[in-house]
Structure 1
Amino acid sequence: MSDVGMLLKAITVGESTGRAIPDAATGETIGYAPVHTVADLDTTVERARERQPEWASRGHAERSRLLHLAADEIDAHAEELAVIIAREQGKPLNGAGARFEAAGCAAWIRNAADTTIEPEVLFEAEGTRSELHYVPLGVVAAIGPWNWPALIGIWQIAPSLRMGNAVVVKPSSYTPLSVLAVVELMNRHLPEGVLTVVAGNREVGSRIASHPKIDKIMFTGSTETGREIVRSSAHNLARLTLELGGNDPGIVLPGADAKVIAESLFWGIFINTGQTCAALKRLYVHDSVYDEVVAELKELAESTPMGHGTDEASLLGPLSTPQQFDIVSRLVADAVERGATIVTGGEAAPELGKNFFRTTIVTDIEDGAALVDEEQFGPVIPVIRYTDLEDAIVRANASEQGLGASVWGDPEEARKVAERIDSGTVWINQHGTLNPMVPFGGIKASGYGLEFGAHGLKSVAAPKVITV
């Protein structure tokens, strides 16, 4: 049996008891994921609560050592993990794809293990000293999405374990195998019961949100579901970190060199075939450089290969689910009905397999069109012409979401604009680049709470003041 087959065998169940998980590009069944129930969740949470104190008592150094071993295990099986991700989620092996995601899992674990938080002296005078410490919360529930299932799972899991919590993971029902594989590899080095997957349906997710014995919920997904979690968690006051996606704007300033920025702009839009919360979703380009920017994006869209995730030549893949394919198709059709121009793409690519939609550039479109106002989450970008920078800034800030944004052009001028954008992160001459040491989180309807680095560790711990 191949290494990929061995890893799949370790995480899947039989056809009679599991749920078939399809290859995103072909529909072929990859394996059968377990189907856990609310009763399974309750049992798992109880076990996690029992095991968490011993895990916390091991201290930061020992927990960090074991996390490094878990990262080494992922590195040793990175190719097998990448193939599972490529087939289940659809992202290609190469580029910023499945191999990138698998490697990122190990890198983010190591960063969480190595980031230190020292007690902070708040006040000191003769005879008195007050210190701020961070202690474990207890049980953290990690509810992940389907677009970067393994990596975003690690963003939730690694800091939570590092700070001494036990973790119960609820993967997306569309991509459970990637998460099951990551947890399987990590659990080869972790104590039993401190990291567990509950692969259930929406009923299980709802129970997590209201569970009286879960101390913290980390959720990445839609704003609508985030609001449901807030409502459900209110009675037991579980702490929340919510990353709820975004409709990220980009503003290209007059004088920007289209050829210089084109490739970074393209991948800021189309990373993971546009299925990234912090991807660029709507692009405002000054009239003086509009045609050049559109031409450069068109050339890249038509020359960047799209295909099955395991095809070494592919750099773009399918939409992960039929539902997402339908959303993208609807938004493009609506844009055409409104009189927008399809510069390239604009249609399905059935010859490539299931759920493929050609890389699409849309012009002659304005705010108010669904493709601009809604998060399309696919390989489509509306390019909006502007002449007045003040107007572009107003448009960029008009969305209810505020996860990421970017400004392109002269760095000094771009910084002035960036300071006026309502967003958790604003990039200059790049978009969507993340650093495990730099905090990341949204504002407005994109959620609240920070991940990564010291800020991320503090978000999965309880502040405790000790005064002597």
Structure 2
Amino acid sequence: MLNATAVDALLAQLPASTEFSCASAPFTGEPLPAVPQTPVESVESVAAVGRAAQRQWAARPVRDRQAVAARFARLLVEHHDRLCDLMQWETGKARIHAAVEVQGVVATALHYAAHSAGYLGERRVRGAVPGLVRARVGYRPKGLVGVIAPWNYPLFLAVGDVIPALLAGNAVLSKADSQAPLTLLYARQLAVRAGLPDPVWQVVAGPGRLLGPALVEAVDYLSFTGSTATGREIARRCADRLIGASLELGGKNPMIVCADADVTAAARGAVQAVFSNAGQMCIGIERIYVHEKVFERFLAELTDRTARLRVGAGYGYDVDMGSLTSLRQLEATEKHVADAVSKGATVLTGGRARPDLGPLFHEPTVLTGVTAEMAVYAEETFGPVVSVHRVASDAEAVRLANAGEYGLSASVWTRDLRRGRRIAAEVVAGSVNVNDGYLSAIASLGAPMGGMRTSGSGRRHGREGIVRYTEPQTVTTQRVATAYPDRFRGPLLRAMNACTRALVAVRHRRIHDPREIHT
């Protein structure tokens, strides 16, 4: 773990303050280092520092910014173990899940280091009059981007959204989550070592209810990951200022297991998708719909695999699932399980808190007999709990999967890939993984990820993940002036109308003539 001197160096990146706050280490309940709380009135001055630095940063060639990202990726790899230590200390996650998080940010940095120039490159489009008018679209940085990320992935979400914002030429103002600020500050320290100018990425710390509104007032665009309730409030505030926002919010993500699925693979994938990060994952699976032909076999294998998970507070790779991160999440998990059991649900494995392992541990839990009047049926648990349901057909599975308010992620298991793609197209979710729980979509960094319905708006990753931080600008140039003498206006308009009628006739014929369609 970091010594006191190293911790002080990290905290020195925050604005000076006379107020401090301590979170608790999930494994032990002991206090984490005291973190200076940024005064609300200081947010504007911190933002001003970033704005001043942004102009020079944006003026640098994209390839220079890409080189910084590539060096940052290398430093993340070199400091892999320290980053894992910090994440486990602050969040209580298992070592394997911390390691996957580091790899995810490395991959994101390398992706945008390789592709941001192409994503942001000026492109030519058809002008109003081909040969006379040329039109080009370029992408200008927003200016100052705010990033508010949650505690459950303090590296992947908090830093992964910063990387494309910086490569697009913006400055960034991050709000460190109160539970896990050291992980974010350590990553920022590495970014500065990689060549990022210090003022270009600023970090403030403090309660979201206080700093969130101040951050919205200070930035030109906001990236937020968190609850749907908070996302709605942020969206309202951004709308009042007429600034854009990307919001990845809650989810009650479904898995569909078809009659022809590889049951062993599906059960193994379900365990990973449900219990990674102790279920504290916005794209994790919380409900599974299994065709009646394979229901009993799937349930038996899922229950057996879940019961054999190794749960503990270790810093090695011999632990499969770690702790919940906060008392709030433990209480929410216990409440959902207790409510379900009191109304007739059955616990097949798990179902209990484990104070013998640590103050915030809960067993991985599989429920059956969950019905609509139970809170766990439709509310996001954000803990290590899954409900399994029997269905008679793919159509029933899709109908139930699409029930509720969310639409973030989903999973479909079948041996028939065409069938899988068909079902995926019917599911309301921003990403659907066929024969995988969630990793294949999030690891496909060229593809956008985000939510439908109340699971959010906007996308991270791919071209969409960096262009969101820009303002598209159209520039047209023409060979001759458009200011014509009055005596030419009438003939010119008549000629334009004739051309328009001819164009409409040609387009109409191409659309409606089957011969044109087939050719």
User: Normalized against structure 2, the TM-score is what?
Assistant: 0.86
- Summarize the Cα distance change of 1:359–1:303 in structure 2 as closer, same or farther, 3 Å threshold: same
Corresponding letter in the other structure for 2:103 = A
**Pairwise mapping of residues 152-171 of structure 1 onto structure 2 (< 5 A)?**
152-171=157-176
Residues 1:467 and 2:503 aligned together:
no
What SS does the aligned partner of 2:282 have?
coil
* Cα separation, 1, equivalents of 2:292 and 2:6: 53
- Summarize the Cα distance change of 1:436–1:354 in structure 2 as closer, same or farther, 3 Å threshold: same
Deviation at 1:454, TM superposition (A): 1.4
What SS does the aligned partner of 2:317 have?
coil
* Cα separation, 2, equivalents of 1:126 and 1:119: 19
* Cα separation, 1, equivalents of 2:18 and 2:456: 39
What SS does the aligned partner of 1:54 have?
helix
What SS does the aligned partner of 1:399 have?
coil
Residues 1:318 and 2:359 aligned together:
no
Q: Which residue of 1 aligns with 2:54?
A: 52
1:237 pairs with one of 236, 242, 249: 242
* Cα separation, 1, equivalents of 2:390 and 2:241: 48
Residues 1:258 and 2:263 aligned together:
yes
What SS does the aligned partner of 1:415 have?
helix
- Worse overlay, 391-400 or 12-21: 12-21
* Cα separation, 2, equivalents of 1:270 and 1:441: 21
- Summarize the Cα distance change of 1:157–1:310 in structure 2 as closer, same or farther, 3 Å threshold: same
Q: Which residue of 1 aligns with 2:102?
A: 102
- Summarize the Cα distance change of 1:113–1:4 in structure 2 as closer, same or farther, 3 Å threshold: farther
Contact 1:241–1:450 (8 Å) recurs in 2: yes
- Worse overlay, 218-227 or 430-439: 430-439
Q: Which residue of 1 aligns with 2:426?
A: 420
Q: Which residue of 2 aligns with 1:216?
A: 221
* Cα separation, 2, equivalents of 1:15 and 1:368: 48
Deviation at 1:379, TM superposition (A): 0.6
* Cα separation, 2, equivalents of 1:49 and 1:24: 37
* Cα separation, 2, equivalents of 1:330 and 1:39: 39
Residues 1:198 and 2:204 aligned together:
yes
Deviation at 1:390, TM superposition (A): 2.1
Corresponding letter in the other structure for 1:385 = R
Contact 1:254–1:286 (8 Å) recurs in 2: yes
1:429 pairs with one of 435, 448, 460: 435
What SS does the aligned partner of 1:193 have?
helix
Higher helix proportion (structure 1 or 2)? 2
Contact 1:219–1:243 (8 Å) recurs in 2: yes
Q: Which residue of 2 aligns with 1:146?
A: 151
Residues 1:305 and 2:324 aligned together:
no
Query: C-alpha deviations, 1:317-343, integer Å up to 9, x for none?
Result: 111100000000000001101101000
- Worse overlay, 69-78 or 342-351: 69-78
Contact 2:257–2:266 (8 Å) recurs in 1: no
**Pairwise mapping of residues 168-179 of structure 1 onto structure 2 (< 5 A)?**
168-179=173-184
Deviation at 1:98, TM superposition (A): 1.0
Residues 1:352 and 2:352 aligned together:
no
* Cα separation, 2, equivalents of 1:129 and 1:70: 39
What SS does the aligned partner of 1:254 have?
coil
What SS does the aligned partner of 2:339 have?
helix
- Worse overlay, 125-134 or 223-232: 125-134
* Cα separation, 1, equivalents of 2:407 and 2:6: 38
Contact 1:251–1:408 (8 Å) recurs in 2: yes
- Summarize the Cα distance change of 1:15–1:355 in structure 2 as closer, same or farther, 3 Å threshold: farther
Deviation at 1:236, TM superposition (A): 1.3
**Pairwise mapping of residues 20-169 of structure 1 onto structure 2 (< 5 A)?**
20-94=22-96, 97-115=97-115, 116-117=118-119, 118-124=121-127, 125-169=130-174
- Worse overlay, 425-434 or 11-20: 11-20
What SS does the aligned partner of 2:74 have?
helix
Deviation at 1:418, TM superposition (A): 1.2
What SS does the aligned partner of 1:129 have?
strand
Deviation at 1:15, TM superposition (A): 12
Q: Which residue of 1 aligns with 2:494?
A: none
* Cα separation, 1, equivalents of 2:93 and 2:39: 29
- Summarize the Cα distance change of 1:39–1:16 in structure 2 as closer, same or farther, 3 Å threshold: closer
Q: Which residue of 2 aligns with 1:207?
A: 214
Asked which structure has the greater CA Rg, the reply is 2
What SS does the aligned partner of 1:234 have?
helix
Corresponding letter in the other structure for 1:205 = G
Query: C-alpha deviations, 1:237-280, integer Å up to 9, x for none?
Result: 11100000211111111122311322112101111111110011
* Cα separation, 2, equivalents of 1:243 and 1:278: 10
Q: Which residue of 2 aligns with 1:9?
A: 8
Contact 1:7–1:181 (8 Å) recurs in 2: no
Deviation at 1:4, TM superposition (A): 6.4
Residues 1:362 and 2:383 aligned together:
no
- Summarize the Cα distance change of 1:192–1:372 in structure 2 as closer, same or farther, 3 Å threshold: same
How big is the alpha-carbon RMSD for the aligned residues of Structure 1 and Structure 2?
1.8
Q: Which residue of 1 aligns with 2:515?
A: none
Aligned residues: 463
- Summarize the Cα distance change of 1:398–1:180 in structure 2 as closer, same or farther, 3 Å threshold: same
Structure 2 gap segments, 5+ residues each: 478-519
* Cα separation, 1, equivalents of 2:3 and 2:279: 27
- Summarize the Cα distance change of 1:320–1:309 in structure 2 as closer, same or farther, 3 Å threshold: farther
What SS does the aligned partner of 1:342 have?
strand
Contact 2:140–2:471 (8 Å) recurs in 1: yes
Q: Which residue of 2 aligns with 1:444?
A: 453
- Worse overlay, 309-318 or 160-169: 309-318
Contact 1:265–1:431 (8 Å) recurs in 2: yes
Contact 1:4–1:83 (8 Å) recurs in 2: no
Deviation at 1:5, TM superposition (A): 5.9
**Pairwise mapping of residues 285-304 of structure 1 onto structure 2 (< 5 A)?**
285-304=290-309
* Cα separation, 1, equivalents of 2:181 and 2:197: 22
Query: C-alpha deviations, 1:135-155, integer Å up to 9, x for none?
Result: 100000000011111110122
* Cα separation, 2, equivalents of 1:232 and 1:166: 21
What SS does the aligned partner of 1:174 have?
coil
Contact 1:367–1:395 (8 Å) recurs in 2: no
- Worse overlay, 8-17 or 378-387: 8-17
